[in-house]
Structure 1
Amino acid sequence: MDLEAVRTFAAIADAGQFQKAAADLSITQQAVSKRIAALESSLGVRLFTRTPRGAELTIDGQAFLPHARDLLRAAERAVASVRAGRRPLRVDVIASRGAASGLMRGFHHAHPEIDLDVVMLLDIETAVASIRSGEIDASFRAVAAPGRYLPEDIESVRVLDEPLQLLAGSAHALAAARSVTLTQLAGHRIWMPGIVPGSEWAAYYDDLVAEFGLTIEATGPNFGSDALLDTVADTPALATFMGEHTRLVWPAGHGLRRIPVTDPTPVYPHSLLWHRDSPHPALATLRAHLTATTATTATTAATAGDDTAGTWVPGWVTPR
């Protein structure tokens, strides 16, 4: 259906005259008459009756009017959904319970006037392609894994270094420890199902294993966080890594312990990616918010490897 004809129909219904509707739409009265004639022809009914007082809706015109207004509102919403500045800011956070999701919740709390559309994409290739196509405006990733280079039109900034913690059940050998060192973890089984080969987080844990002689097992199907928590709680020989800002809830009977890892503390580097020519005005607000928010909480990792702050990141991580 011709939306311009529908818009003209609604304008005549509001104005009560073809001539006034033409003036309101900045078109000629002849163009108005042609649009209505075409619309009536496509619908197979008369929409207006001409009277000395102007144009009056027929019974069919009265029946069509509310639907015509719905069509016009739907068209406005469709345009707004893709128009930068009017559509929501679309951001990829990978997982709903991770640190990036927490950062976006904080941003929403600080800027409730900005509409958000939060999505979860699995791999960095999909995220980068979605940024370049305009499908999303930004993504939280660890940038960049060995051998992977961002396209020149993709910008990135490191916004948060998240310390890793050991999650273990109450019967685990290290459950009573107030903290554990990476050296102490050598020889213990750390179970992390769901690590995707080739992903940036797989590269991160590969380097962690290689440097500190750890044993990380990614065997078995990934049934999600609830199944992981159940298994770790019930298996004394297993533990897992969890980000300090990851929000998970488990039954009190599980007796799970979150234990800080030290000497050095492995930190996972979260970066924000966006297109350098992104037109969305809220993106600058998000970047400024992240800079202000994470400045006081991020652990500085200025160089690869063990740094002066006692933290560790892989050598391929971009310095802050």
Structure 2
Amino acid sequence: MDLDMAQVRAFVYAAQELHFGRAAGKLAITQQALSKRIGRLESLLGTKLFDRPGHGVALTEAGRGFLEPARRVLAAADDAVAATVRKDRPLRVDVWGHLYAPMRTLAQVTGRGPGPEPGQAAVPAPELELGHGRDLPTALAALLHGDIDAAFGRVHPPLPADLTHRLVRLEPVDAVLSTDHPLAAEPALRPGQLRDSVLWAPGALDRLDFLRRFADRFDIRERAGSVNLGLPHFLTEVAQHPRRFSLLPADVPLPDVPGLRSVPLVDPTPLYAWSLLWRTGNTHPGLSALAATCAGEAGRSRWLEYDPARDWLPEKA
């Protein structure tokens, strides 16, 4: 009997969560796809693995017996893949959050390796093969499927249990608005002053966790979404309307868009968190080197400073 690892993984995640919806979310697939995989596995094994009383799920006796061997099978399969992966190939890294320009941070990080320990040579920054993910769920799916080694962007829960992430940078965020906006002349703004403005987002807010949580926290009632056609197009839309605003990291170079102004946010200053994310157990040597260069640059550039009396970070709210 040949087992399909995608089906076994679906079973293990569902057994851990005892909830098909949460398990599907952690695998970055639909609940329908997860149910189909488990159904095919049950058909192959000739037995039910789950009971479905009411709204939840519970392991059957056969499911409980299958769980630990299934975990070992998955671990062995992951080890087999890791053992055959070329260690001299570039580290495959996806980035997301394109309006917020994640490449700026990675470029700064990989421009120099971490400082050496006393008596040791400096560790060179790893060679990277960069790609683009649309959002966090896309990056999670690519990591879980082994298509990439790491991902870089803003991470927020829930995350699959076999992924690890490390905070790299906390970046202050400014309000970007039209020069015709009633608050455009202010030298700085408190987030609550934007309450009567329209938050302009590069997509649906249910996929943009940071902007959604900012709007909820500071009572921004009017919210509207655009299509992400790049930063110049997006900011042109902001500049054309006297009540619109959006948020960008403070040191993102603004494109040459007429009628646009960037204003610092204070009391509190919102911070956008950049993290490195990878699958636990990945043995590519470039992964530890990249994590080390990130930590070194964060220390040199004081990227992880956070004062709860001064700053707002959704993860700490």
Scaled to the shorter chain, the TM-score interval is: 0.5 to 0.7
Structure 1: how far apart are the matches of 2:133 and 2:213?
A: 23
2:154 matches 1:142: yes
Deviates more, 1:110-119 or 1:185-194: 110-119
* SS of equivalent to 1:298: coil
8 Å CA contact retained: 1:98, 1:247: no
2:283 maps to 279
- CA shift, 1:196, in A, is 5.2
TM-fit CA distance, 1:240: 1.5
State whether structure 2 residue 99 is matched by structure 1 residue 94.
no
- 2:188 aligned with 1:169: no
Residue 242 (structure 1) aligned with residue 248 (structure 2)? yes
Deviations 1:143-198 (A, max 9, x none): 324xx2x222211111111211111222221222111001211111221131452x
* Range with bigger deviation, 176-185 or 240-249: 240-249
Alignment of 1:1-320 (within 5 A): 83-96=85-98, 98-110=100-112, 114-145=126-157, 148=158, 150-195=159-204, 197=206, 199=207, 202-215=208-221, 217-251=223-257, 254-295=258-299, 296-301=301-306, 307-308=308-309, 310-314=310-314, 317=315
Q: Is the 8 A contact 1:166 1:261 kept in 2?
A: yes
| TM-score normalised according to structure 1 size | 0.63
Is the 8 Å Cα contact of residues 111 and 125 (structure 2) preserved in structure 1? no
Instruction: For residue 265 of structure 2, give the secondary structure of its aligned residue in structure 1.
Output: strand
After TM superposition, give the deviation of residue 113 of structure 1 in Å: 6.7
User: Residue 206 of structure 1: CA displacement?
Assistant: 2.5
- Residue 265 of structure 1: how far off its partner (Å): 0.8
In structure 1, runs of 5+ residues without a counterpart are: 1-81
CA displacement at 1:260 relative to structure 2:
0.7
Distance 2:283 2:316 in 1: 26
CA contact under 8 A between 1:84 and 1:279: conserved in structure 2? no
CA distance in 1, matches of 2:196, 2:98: 32
After TM superposition, give the deviation of residue 85 of structure 1 in Å: 2.6
Q: What is residue 27 of structure 1 aligned with on the other side? A: none
Structure 1 residues 115 and 153: alpha-carbon distance in aligned structure 2, compared to 1, 3 A threshold = same
Percent identity of paired positions between Structure 1 and Structure 2: 29
Larger Rg: 1
CA distance in 2, matches of 1:187, 1:301: 28
- Structure 2 distance, partners of 1:113, 1:311, is 31
Query: How far apart are residue 108 of structure 1 and its match?
Result: 3.0
Shift of 1:255: 3.7
User: For each residue in 1:67-119, what CA deviation from the matched residue of structure 2 results, as whole angstroms up to 9, or x when unmatched?
Assistant: xxxxxxxxxxxxxxx84432111111114563421121123322587322111
Given residue 311 of structure 2, which amino acid in structure 1 is its aligned partner? T
Asked if structure 2 preserves the Cα contact closer than 8 Å seen for 1:191 and 1:218, the reply is: yes
Q: For the residues of structure 2 that align with 1:203 and 1:249, how far apart are their CA atoms? A: 24
Kindly report structure 1 stretches of 4+ aligned residues shifted beyond 4 Å. none
CA deviation after TM superposition for structure 1 residue 261, in Å? 0.6
Task: Name the CA distance, whole Å, in 2 between partners of 1:122 and 1:170.
Answer: 31
Superimposed CA distance per residue, residues 22-66 of structure 1 (whole angstroms, 9 cap, x where no aligned partner): xxxxxxxxxxxxxxxxxxxxxxxxxxxxxxxxxxxxxxxxxxxxx
TM-score under structure 2 normalisation? 0.63
CA shift for structure 1 position 235: 2.0
- Give me the CA root mean square deviation: 2.5
Which sits farther off after the overlay, 237-246 or 115-124?
237-246
Distance 2:211 2:97 in 1: 18
Tell me: CA distance 1:318–1:130, structure 2 relative to 1, closer, same or farther (3 Å).
Answer: farther
Q: Which moved more, 1:107-116 or 1:131-140?
A: 107-116
* Partners of 2:127 and 2:286 within 8 A in 1: no
What is the match of residue 64 of structure 2?
none
| Count of residues in correspondence between the two structures | 223
